[in-house]
Structure 1
Amino acid sequence: MSSTIRPTPTAGDVPRTLANASLPPRVRHILEAVNELAGQTLTTSLNLALNEFERQLFKQADRARSSQHQSEHFAELQRLRQNRADVVPRYLAGLESSLARLREASEAEPAEEPAPDPLQYQRLTLVEDTDLDRDIVLREIGRRETQRSGTPLLLLGQRFGVLAGRPAFDAERLPIGPYALCRVLRDAGEALHMSLDSQLLLYRMFERQVMERYGELVERLNVLLTHEGVLPGLVYLPYRPRTQGQSRTRGAAAGSAGAVSQRPLTGWHGQARPSAWSGALMAGLAARQAPAGGGEAPPTDGTATTGEQGAPVAVAEMPEQAVFSALQGMLSDHRGGGGAPGTGAQAPGVILPLDAVVNVLGTMQALPTATRAPGRPRRTMDDLRQAMLARVRESHGPEAGLSQEHSDTFELLGMLYHEIGREVHEDAPAQDLLEKLQVPVVRAAVQDRSFFVRDQHPARELLNSVAESGATWLADDDADPQLVLRLEQAVDKVVEEYDGDETVFERANREVQEHYRTHAHKAEVSERRQVEAARGRDRLETAKRNATDAIAARLRGRKPPQFVQALLNQAWADVLTLTALRHGEESPEWREREEATERIVEITCAADAPSDPELAGQIDTALRQVGYHEDEASAIARRLSRSDDDESTSRTELTAKLKARARLGEGEHGEAKKVKLPPRTTDEQACYEHLRTLPFGTWFEFVFNQQGDVRRQRLSWYSPVTDNALFVNSRGHKVGEQSLDSLARLMAQGQARVVTEDKGRLIDRAWQATLRALRGLAGRPATGALGAAGA
């Protein structure tokens, strides 16, 4: 069953307020202050969200393509205006109810869920469709905000744990956490009595107006609780182990562990956090202007550069024209160093104005897409420029040409497209879709010089979604035909509708992202099943180890007959393993089995010890529970409960049966013997220690051939006890298991590397590669294994 956003108990239960909650006086006083602060902050944001929601509904009605759709949108708008006054009070009441139940959470968690309704065999579904859609959107909002809030949210969970008198709350259980706010929104939104599409639109407005300010609310709540004396002075400092010989100033693990300052990528396919393009550009400009002699490397976040007087200048404060001019300077230096061919051409006699360029591109965009013949090379940006100039010169004369700015735009897009194409499968449908998008993307970049500067430009976001559908790091079984169909529809819509309004790209990409979110939800469900299975196997292996250790402890210094040792280490070990799995090692059943083990060793080691019928019966019963046949169980029980040989059953016959029998938890072919590997080297040990600090969900790239091609796999779970690690693909399907030790050895050899957030998205990697080419650094080797991984 999938995890869902469960409704907050309100109308169905006794209404909860802080006044009637069963709380200590001091806790009630603090929660009332929390509720008052949250209410003041959220009321304004909620009203802004409702205002924006109303405007969006009106805009949809205004843009409706038929009178029926328009009337439906106006009906939704009317319902909003009728019921809007109930939303904010209901939301605040739900939030107060969540706070009032703070100390009930620990008691409510182990309670059994109510019995399910009788099955309706006419229509069987796992969950209601509308509930599933709403759950997906709300969980994604909560997940994104959890990632953004970071450390302050972690500290707030610690402080609420003190108020509740229990361990710290995680983001999903925190009464005023992002998931709780989304649950309350779902309940409050029911007051509007609106359709599913309208509710989903409301959720998006809620994220934009309310959740964007949630981080500020968390900070203020931490300050409030600090003043109230709840863990004053609490701070969080992540522990990063330092290996011998590691630099204290940089704090990076040696070898392939490399610089760990970049956060590992944990989002599902298509959900990587976008990086700052302007920041990468500023870092590139700083590297270009830095002296060749070295010195400290420029900051990679790019949040600031240096002005004329040495004062920091924020990127956001620099005019877009100035930043684009700096980018043109890099391009000019690149040409001077033997860059793009044909740059020595004379300036055109007639420079085309922007309107003429846009009109010609619009004409080319309206032409039907030609089917590419097999073996014909794909159209490049330079081919598109030449075709556009040929059309222009038919009407403006042979001397007509592009301005320097527009020529540079074509050249930059050509370099970017080239880098994108290197990371997309040659025969993937994404290649055809990228070619279809060339003309709309050129129009967007020509009309808006911030295309290369602004973070998260809508045209680039759609370009990334298309490219990642055919990325080289995806295996054949990662292909998603439904995603390809959705992308084809989105690209066709852009080609048909784009005429300078970037919201066309935004709408198209939003539809694709909805599919990605649905895909991620399914992958999470599949991954959870794989993790539970892996945990079960890990518990079995741990139980086997404990059973072996328990037998070895009783045999220390004593040597029963070899045949008895074989029975102990196989048949009786299975009994101990099952007991540990079912009851645990602190249970009376386990202690009883340990006493029986001690008794077996005593009897079988003594020369003339009498048989023990009671012990024989206990062994017989235990072996049958493990699955031994009645005759086999009786024969083994007789042999383990007496000191002399039992001739009623042949030892050879019993040995043959044991060898033919699969051990508990083993397959038909048994378990493969583990090869003892040499001790880890210094680099391998550094990688191993770094691995144990990574969160579940970290993505890795594995080199799978001599050409250096990679496949991405997700580290879904690993056991700190057995070191077993589970890997799944982008669909949440298991693709392999290995130990952290073997993974560390692969990392040290450069055959595996962690994918960091700044290298997570294909278009961001392509942009950074473009900047490296402009700086003339594309041919230089990166320092360190992780540096090479990011290159």
Structure 2
Amino acid sequence: MSSTVRPTSIIGAASRTLANAALPPRVRHILEAINALAGQTLTTSLNLALNEFERQLFKQADRARSSQQQSEHFAELQRLRQHRADVVPRYLAGLETSLARLRETPEHDPAEEPPPQDPLQFQRLTLVEDTDLDRDIVLREIGRREAQRGGTPLLLLGQRFAVLAGRPAFDPERLPIGPFALCRVLRDAGDTLHMTLDSQLLLYRVFERQVMERYGELVERLNVLLTHEGVLPGLVYLPYRPRTQGQSRGRGAASGSAGAVSQRPLTGWHGQARPSAWSGALMAGLASRQPHPGAETGEGEAAPAEAAQASAGEIPEQAVFAALQGMLTEHRGGLSGNAGLAGAAGQMPGVILPLDAVVNVLGAMQAIPSPARTSGRPRRTVDDLRQAMLARMRESHGPEAGLSQEHSDTFELLGMLYHEIGREVHEDAPAQDLLEKLQVPVVRAAVQDRSFFVRDQHPARELLNSVAESGATWLADDDADPQLVLRLEQAVDKVVEEYAGDESVFERANREVQEHYRAQAHKAEVSERRQVEAARGRDRLETAKHSAATTIAARLGGRKPPQFVQALINQAWADVLTLTALRHGEESEEWREREEATGRIIDITCAAEAPADPELAGQIDSALRQVGYHEDEASAIARRLSRSDEDENTSRTELTAKLKARARLGEGEHAEAKKVKPPARTTEEQGCYEHLRTLPFGTWFEFVHNQQGDVRRQRLSWYSPVTDNALFVNARGHKVGEQSLDSLARLMAQGQARIVTEDKGRLIDRAWHATLRVLRGLAGRSDDGALGAASA
């Protein structure tokens, strides 16, 4: 009987938790979020499954054929009620154990494979082993069916988990939270009930109906969560499309306004863009300014980019910061005509204050409450902060006290960065006040840690970006979120009160803000999904209308029935065909019947003398009532369309008035204007159009909305490959407009619309690129290397 205990049980294998798992901090944080989301989702489904399981057991007891069977079923029911409270906690513990073992790489998992059997020793098989095999077969079939239904979202989830595990992509069988893993956890959790094989198999079937039917929704929510956490945020599935002979890999036809094709489009929601590497950007610029060995021989044109990658990974932070200081010195030399700046740079203080003194003065300034800002008072800059700090320092350390060159450079770099950030934030946005309030803590963080300008994803910079993006200039007035502003105010106040050199204060504050961003993104996705479904419905309606019109034209074949009859066919009967195409499709039997009826209508109404067809009249009458025509209208139209001559009982004037007053199928109060065929596209417009049709849903665009060049961001939520209709929503998932891909391509060619790529997604990264361009003095030059694509 030892085979009843599985040594490879997920739960029994060391009872792992995420807290004691050997995982990197960021991976552990993400897995904890995944575990919390999955636990919240599965707990409800598991309780529903147990309720259904209990009902099924009671029903079996009620239908038992003998008293012995009934007592056995009641005994099973009693065991369920006795141990039910242990099932869900054990299941969630097993799920956490599966996640905690993410980075373990065993050669094979025996739990996923049936035990090997020796064909020469059949006599050793027991009933328990048969029971285990039956359970494995049933659970594996459940997992297989769900894996087939999972489709693309499940494959994308496997790719994202591979990033967390640092290994190749997981297939559904190996995915720690995949359908097979959920079934294995169920087997271990179900053992707590101590029930017979038949009852366990019944539990598995109920689990498939109540839990696995909702697994697809969990997969989508997990993909959204990982996207928000920055794990392959732009990941989409694109089918392989082989190139024809002579087709170029590049897409040089699109203009610069269409954006660099090599850059991936931004698809994340507001506040969830993927961060870029600051050190890589800095070293890429340095590499592009220096000759490389391949330049003389004509080999290795991509050497600057490769050197930048190597530099970013191999050069220590101290050397990178030194290079940044060198750029700052060159910048000062290039502006030597500014006497004030030159004097400040060239005059060394008599007493250089140590780091502790600088930090103490900044700490004292941080403790002073910020005065309420009046409408006429100008905002404090980082240079104003430096002057105020120097004045306080000189009161204690003498008039010759000053900052070291490194600290002066830090202040100057922060001043330039703050200036560029301020240019991308609305002047009257609450974010401006919060940025000013963050100046002292951010300066303290940068002074104490020189990696502030070098290290990727520094916590202080991340919070700075979250605050700035809440008031970005590309946001419209209806994109404002008062709840986000309140959360940001609380986070900034907490940093001002608690920061004393521990960067985890910034990290905790930004994590709270990011939680709100994630909740906001989830709401936006729900709203966007509704808009997309509505747009798809309108697109299907338009396609159905086109099919109806094409069918009528084909059946007419050049014949011209009376004008009044033609109006009835093109309006009333066209609505019938449209509704049939929508409900049943153009391959259905109902559609074929409507096509035959269309031909009979046209044959009868176009004939000189043809007898009335009562059967056709009844068919027309029934179809028109399904569309929504009143009984008398449907009867009158049916009588006229089923005979060749006028009906004495039908008033043409009255019926015409009713038809004009009646809204067509799918049209509201304001019918769409008749589409005018646009002129032919130019070569540039055609290149933009072809590029548009390769973009994934969710790509962000910037549209110029005034003569000053101000832009608004809108998200391309969906477009129809058939009709070219495109749907755009704002940062909150609300519909802001619809247009065709053709008109969008023309706007791109004119520079009135452009794709937002990932390197331009985050405000602080754009500000950093702009700061580097100022330092290099490259304004107006085109040899900016890897940084020229960043927007000023």
Do the two structures share a fold, i.e. TM-score over 0.5? yes
1:704 corresponding residue in structure 2: 705
1:530 corresponds in structure 2 to: 531
Q: Secondary structure at the residue paired with 2:738?
A: strand
In 2, are the aligned partners of 1:252 and 1:259 still within 8 Å (CA)? no
Q: Are the aligned partners of 2:287 and 2:305 in contact in 1 as well (CA < 8 Å)?
A: no
Shift of 1:652: 2.7
Q: Which residue of 1 aligns with 2:329?
A: 332
Q: 1:301 to 1:711 in 2, by over 3 A?
A: farther
- Structure 1 residue 104 corresponds to structure 2 residue 145: yes
**1:304 touches 1:314 (CA, 8 Å); kept in 2?**
yes
TM-score, normalised via structure 2 length: 0.73
* Cα deviation code 1:388-419 (max 9, x no counterpart): 11111111111111111111111110110011
Alignment of 1:462-501 (within 5 A): 462-501=463-502
Give the deviation of 1:190 after TM superposition.
10
SS at the partner of 1:343? helix
Task: Report the Cα distance in structure 1 between the residues aligned to 2:365 and 2:180, rounded to whole angstroms.
Answer: 48
> Quick one: which amino acid aligns to residue 332 of structure 1?
T
Q: Does 1:608 align with 2:597?
A: no
Aligned to 1:634: 635
Cα distance in 2 for partners of 1:444, 1:86 equals: 40
Contact 1:575 1:626 in 2 (8 A): yes
Q: Give 1:648 shift.
A: 2.4
Retained in 1: the 8 A contact 2:701–2:754? yes
Partner of 1:366: 367
Within-5 A mapping of 1:110-121: none
3-state SS of paired residue (1:708): coil
| Distance of 1:260 and 1:100 partners within structure 2 | 44
Q: How does 1:257-336 map to 2 (within 5 A)?
A: 257-289=258-290, 304-305=307-308, 313-336=310-333
Instruction: Report the alpha carbon displacement of residue 583 of structure 1 after superposing the two structures with TM.
Output: 1.0
- Contact 1:242/1:251 (<8 A) preserved: no
SS in 1 for 2:528: helix
CA displacement at 1:41 relative to structure 2: 14
Q: Distance in 2 between matches of 1:602 and 1:51?
A: 77
CA offset at residue 304 of structure 1? 3.7
- 1:343 is aligned to 2:331: no
Which residue is 2:355 aligned to? 354
Deviations 1:205-251 (A, max 9, x none): x99xx99xx999xxxxxxxxxxxxxxxxxx9995497999x9x4745
Match of 1:26 in 2: none
SS in 2 for 1:597: helix
1:612-631 residue CA offsets vs partner (Å, 9 max, x unmatched): 11111111111111111222
Distance change >3 Å, CA 524–CA 148, structure 1 → 2: farther
Give the Cα separation in 2 of the matches to 1:147 and 1:716: 27
Distance, in Å, in 2 between the alignment partners of 1:41 and 1:304 is: 46
- What code does the residue aligned with 1:48 have? A
Worse-matched range after superposition: 666-675 or 434-443: 666-675
Instruction: Summarize the Cα distance change of 1:190–1:453 in structure 2 as closer, same or farther, 3 Å threshold.
Output: farther
The 5-angstrom pairing of residues 152-231 of structure 1 reads 176=175
Tell me what 1:766 maps to: 767
Rounded to whole Å, the distance in 2 between the matches of 1:469 and 1:90 is 34
Is the contact made by 1:251 and 1:259 (CA closer than 8 Å) also made in structure 2? no
Structure 1 residue 741: Cα displacement: 1.1
Cα distance change on mapping 1:695 and 1:554 into 2, 3 Å:
same
Q: Which secondary structure state, in structure 1, belongs to the residue aligned with residue 713 of structure 2?
A: strand
Q: Deviations over 1:194-214 (max 9, x none)?
A: xxxxxxxxxxxx99xx99xx9
Secondary structure of the 1:707 match is coil
The Cα of 1:780 is off from its aligned counterpart by: 3.9
Instruction: State the partner residue of 2:56.
Output: none
Query: AA paired with 1:318?
Result: I
2:21 corresponds to: 48
Q: Of 71, 94, 97, which residue of structure 2 is paired with 1:88?
A: 97
Residue aligning to 2:779: 778
1:145 corresponds to 2:160: yes
% same residue: 73
Report what 1:254 is aligned to. 254
Counterpart residue identity of residue 759, structure 2 = D
Q: Which whole-Å CA distance do the structure 1 matches of 2:148 and 2:240 have between them? A: 31
Give the partner amino acid of 1:105.
E
CA distance, structure 1, for counterparts of residue 734 and residue 381 of structure 2: 37
Question: What RMSD over aligned residues (CA atoms) do the two structures have, in Å?
Answer: 4.5
Matched, 1:411 2:412: yes
Name 1:446's counterpart in structure 2: 447
Q: Give structure 2 stretches of 5+ with no counterpart.
A: 30-88, 102-108, 113-135, 191-221
2:482 and 2:181 map into 1 onto residues whose CA distance is 32
C-alpha contact (below 8 Å) 2:287/2:307 kept by paired residues: no
User: What residue in structure 1 maps to residue 65 of structure 2?
Assistant: none
Q: Secondary structure at the match of 1:500?
A: coil
Structure 1 residue 316: Cα displacement: 2.5
User: Aligned AA for 1:685?
Assistant: Q
Please give the per-residue CA displacement for 1:258-284, whole angstroms capped at 9, x wherever unaligned.
421111111111111111111111112
TM-superposed deviation, 1:449: 0.5
Report the AA paired with residue 513 of structure 2: V
Mapped partners of 2:675, 2:301: distance in 1? 47
Q: Which amino acid aligns with 1:410?
A: F
Contact in 1 for aligned 2:17/2:97 (Cα 8 Å): no
Shift of 1:779: 3.5
Do the aligned residues in 2 keep the contact of 1:243 with 1:253 (CA within 8 Å)?
A: no
Deviations 1:150-190 (A, max 9, x none): 9997x866xx6xxxxxxxxxxxxx87276669979998999
SS at match of 2:616: helix
Q: Mapping of 1:539-554 within 5 angstroms? A: 539-554=540-555
> CA 1:673–1:85 in 2, change beyond 3 Å: closer, same or farther?
closer
- Aligned mates of 1:766, 1:659 — CA distance in 2: 58
Distance 1:719 1:760, change over 3 A: same
**Counterpart-to-counterpart distance in 1, 2:303 and 2:426:** 29
Is this contact kept in 2: 1:334–1:774, CA < 8 A? Answer: yes
Inter-partner Cα distance in structure 2 for 1:463 and 1:300: 34
Task: Confirm or deny: 8 A CA contact 1:253 1:259 kept in the other structure.
Answer: no
Output the CA distance in 2 between the equivalents of 1:457 and 1:471: 21
1:642-657 to structure 2, matched below 5 A, reads: 642-657=643-658
State the SS of the aligned residue for 1:742: helix
Question: How much has 1:649 moved relative to structure 2?
Answer: 2.2
Q: Equivalent residue of 2:264, what SS? A: coil
Q: How does 1:655-694 map to 2 (within 5 A)?
A: 655-694=656-695
Equivalent in the alignment of 2:61: none
Aligned-partner residue type, residue 342 of structure 1: L
Q: Secondary structure at 2:718's aligned position in 1?
A: strand
Give a deviation string over 1:98-127, Cα, whole Å, max 9, x none. Answer: 8663432278889xxxxxxxxxxxxxxxxx
Q: Give the Cα–Cα distance (whole angstroms) in 2 for the partners of residues 405 and 188 of structure 1.
A: 62
CA distance in 1, matches of 2:414, 2:321: 13
Q: In structure 2, what is the equivalent of residue 752 of structure 1?
A: 753
User: Per the alignment, do residues 85 and 651 of structure 1 end up closer, same or farther by CA in structure 2, a change over 3 Å counting?
Assistant: closer
Q: Where do 1:384-463 residues align within 5 Å? A: 384-463=385-464
Structure 1 residues 237 and 534, CA gap change in structure 2 (3 angstroms): closer
Compared CA separation, residues 720 and 369, structure 1 to 2 (3 A): same
- Structure 2 equivalent of residue 721 of structure 1: 722
Change (3 A) 1:417 1:50: closer
Alpha-carbon distance in 1 for matches of 2:242, 2:672: 36
Matched length = 646
Distance 1:693 1:249, change over 3 A: closer
How far apart, in 1, do the equivalents of 2:738 and 2:566 lie?
A: 32
Structure 2 counterpart SS, 1:48: coil
Q: 1:297: how far off?
A: 11
CA contact (8 A) 1:725 1:738 kept: yes
- Report if aligned partners of 1:46, 1:88 keep a CA contact under 8 Å in 2: no
1:505-549: CA deviation from partner (whole Å, max 9, x where unpaired): 011111111111111111111111111111111111111111111
Q: Secondary structure at the match of 1:735?
A: strand
Q: How far apart are the structure 2 equivalents of 1:486 and 1:650?
A: 67
